[in-house]
Amino acid sequence: MIKNIILDFGKVLVDYDFEVFFRRNVPNEERRKQFIPILYNDGLTPAIDRGEKSFSEIIEDLIAENPEFAPELHVFNERYPDLIIGEIPGMKNLLKKLKAERYKLYGLSNWCDKVYVTMEQFDIFNLLDGYVVSSEVHQIKPEPAIYQSLFKKFNLKPEECVFADDKVENVEASRKEGMPAIVFKNAAQFEEELRKLL
């Protein structure tokens, strides 16, 4: 019997838009094309999410490596929470409904230590009964260890949980750990698939 709903943060509870952020903060298109790969690449993104260094320390390292982009990197550090453009439509009402039905709600997210600014800005996070963030535990999805950290922290049985994530690889990893999971597209689709499992 399902008792717990586990939710990713980005693209499930709140939405983000890198393109809008960078157009606004790095208006020169040619410079933007050179700058974005410094921040978003297969090596850096997992390191940021894993949190072995603070977000600010990682930015300082990048400035040392790319001094010509120091102004943009400082802006990215200071305005990082502006990446979030709002809550996912329909999710707050759905979570309120699920809480009223006595399901427990938990978060499981890959996010750097700036996540707490976002969590303070949006009310939807107040509906969670607890959460595990990758930068706190120094583990990232889809690694098995982060799912086990969630189960251990809140004394959860995986078969009593359902996980929602927008990334297929994280959903597949969840299922391998014994936790049913749904690839999230929008609130209506998620509720429809969720109701089939509850």
3-state secondary structure of 2: coil
Which stretches of 64-190 are assigned E, i.e. beta strand?
A: 84-87, 104-109, 130-133, 161-165, 181-183
- Per-domain residue ranges for the chain? 4-15+85-197, 16-83
62-91 pLDDT, tens per residue?
999 999 999 999 999 999 999 999 999 999
β-strands 161-165, 181-183: how paired? parallel
CB 88 within 8 A of CB 94: no
CB 187 within 8 A of CB 94: yes
For residue 155, the model assigns a pLDDT of: 98
Distance from C-alpha of 49 to C-alpha of 142, rounded to nearest angstrom: 12
Which is more confidently placed, 52 or 189? Answer: 189
Residues pairing with 113 in the sheet: none
Summary mean pLDDT of the chain: 96
**What predicted TM-score, i.e. pTM, was given to this entire model?**
0.95
Q: Does domain 4-15+85-197 have CATH number 2.60.120.700?
A: no
